[in-house]
Amino acid sequence: MNRELYLAQIDRVNREGRYHPDWQSIATHPTPDWYREKRLGIFLHWGPFSVPAYHDWYARQMYNQGTPEYQHHLEHYGDHKQHGYKHFIPQLTMEKYQPEEWIRLFQEAGADYIVPVAEHHDGFQMYRSDLSRWNAVEMGPHRDVMGDLLEEAERAGMTLGLSSHRVEHCWFFSEGCKFDSDVKQPVDRDDLYWPAMPSPENLHDLFGQPYPTEEFLTDWLLRCCELVDRYHPRIVYFDWWIQHEAVRPYLRRFTAYYYNRSEEWGGGVINYKHDAFPFGCGVPDIERGQFSEAKPFLWQSDTSVMRNSWCYSEGADYKSAQDVVWDLVDVVSKNGRLLLNIGPKPDGTIRQEDENILRTLGGWMKVNGEAIHGTGLWRINQEGPTLVEEGQFADGVARAFTSQDFRFTCNGDQIYAIGMVCPEDGKLKILSLRDADASRLPVYKGIIESVEVLGADGPVQWKQDEEALHVDMGSFRTELPFVIKIITK
């Protein structure tokens, strides 16, 4: 690829298109209507880091002297000079990879969009690229594994997305330069490890030194635009380090280019973290966390089926299916969507634990999905004593919901009260649906026509008074959240 011609094309599109590389122009881009309907997506972390099966930052930590990963590498693979990270690539064979089966599983789980990691911090591209030879077509699987998955997803009617974590690559292999390893300065631009520059002391410092070079940032821009032009994603997800001050001019160029190009296929969405984008220029994402209350704007929570890893890991600490459904219900009730990650194995199969969670989720969605898909915010989103901690990385421990905890969604004349824990006696009190005095306070004062429990065999007993909406579920019991469907007049 002629890089200079491609840069000229990017700038020409931004000059002639509706959106220009400044935030005032970018802010005029509306969130497409179709995105409002999305509730559940599948995130995929895969790559050479799946081979050692430790965690997705193994590529960096295996060179960080004194860490458990460094010692693990010595004990299992030997000297870093003879067996560096790039030596895992031939073992990423994906020989059992069947993308059509993956998509069938994801759809059965109730997912309507997909966001595979195109390139993680390690710099290995899981797609066909004209910008680097370190990609899955020329090495490892010798197949466009991401492209094949997106093709199957599109055929099945799922919305296509992808994520780029490339920007952190500029310093990701820096620890390997501190001892005699296979990462050596100066690192040639054609090397997987390039540029392996020193990392800022504080990676969350927006002005942390040293800044990535113009050469690296231009390469980052080109790689992102190549993904857009080759795969036409309707959702682009960025990891956190794009917030660094040095990245901002390149981020504006990319965003304008993507929004201009995506006009051709129905508009695009960018998910970002922290304040990498001015508010309103993209859709904010909270990593492994949620908001504690409903928001008037669209947002996303991304989390993994594992508490301690994003990729296939032998020591994975799996959440329960109940935890995952709780996350989905809580997020959707607050105007969010859940991007749920799994970690495929290097042979191209999905681990049984991941599959079990997805199938349990799918069974729940078949019964209760109408309370998730196509719904919107109700006047109150939650009731009960348990509030979810707000912020990132808050999913390290299981929630402690009770039978008094409910989350609400609505659709037309239907209100959905989603009980987080089924009471032993099957008797519910939904306080937010009591017969209230609305002469002064903006509380619920509507006419309830019918009440049912989704998945129950027959009708349920209910009554509404000044205390609550009382529902007796009879013999119906479940280990997972349950849905009370209220039809109003």
Segment 26-75, tens digit of pLDDT:
999 999 999 999 999 999 999 999 999 999 999 999 999 999 999 999 99
Residue 354 lies in a domain: no
The residue-averaged pLDDT of 190-194 equals: 98
Question: By three-state DSSP, how is residue 407 classified?
Answer: strand
- The domain boundary, picked from 287, 319, 347, lies at 287
Residue 156 lies in a domain: yes
The residue-averaged pLDDT of 194-216 equals: 97
DSSP 36: G
- CB neighbour list of residue 183: distance below 8 Å, 6 or more residues apart: 63, 84, 173, 176, 177, 193, 196
Does an H or E element contain 25, and which? helix 23-26
Question: Is cis: bond before 210, omega within 30 of 0?
Answer: yes
The answer to whether residues 120 and 262 belong to one domain is: yes
**What's residue 397's pLDDT?**
84
pLDDT tier, 399 (very low <50, low <70, confident <90, very high otherwise): confident
Strands 382-383 and 448-453: unpaired
Distance (Å, whole) CA 116 – CA 417 = 33
Q: What is the mean pLDDT of the chain?
A: 97
Residue 310 lies in a domain: no
The residue-averaged pLDDT of 308-328 equals: 97
Residue 190 lies in a domain: yes
- Do 196 and 173 form a contact (C-beta atoms < 8 A)? yes
The residue-averaged pLDDT of 175-194 equals: 97
The range of the structural domain enclosing residue 450 comes to 382-488
Residue 20 lies in a domain: yes
Per-residue CA distances from 109 to 148, 370, 371 (Å):
20, 14, 15
Question: Is cis: bond before 186, omega within 30 of 0?
Answer: yes
- Do 270 and 238 form a contact (C-beta atoms < 8 A)? yes
**What's residue 441's pLDDT?**
87
Residue 405 lies in a domain: yes
* pLDDT above 90 (res 398): no
* pLDDT above 90 (res 264): yes
Residue 207 lies in a domain: yes
**What's residue 92's pLDDT?**
98
The residue-averaged pLDDT of 93-122 equals: 98
- Tally of helices (H runs) and strands (E runs) in the chain: 11, 16
Distance (Å, whole) CA 272 – CA 279 = 10
The residue-averaged pLDDT of 172-176 equals: 98
Q: Express each pLDDT in 87-102 by its tens digit.
A: 999 999 999 999 999 9
The residue-averaged pLDDT of 172-199 equals: 97
The answer to whether residues 265 and 387 belong to one domain is: no
* pLDDT above 90 (res 442): no
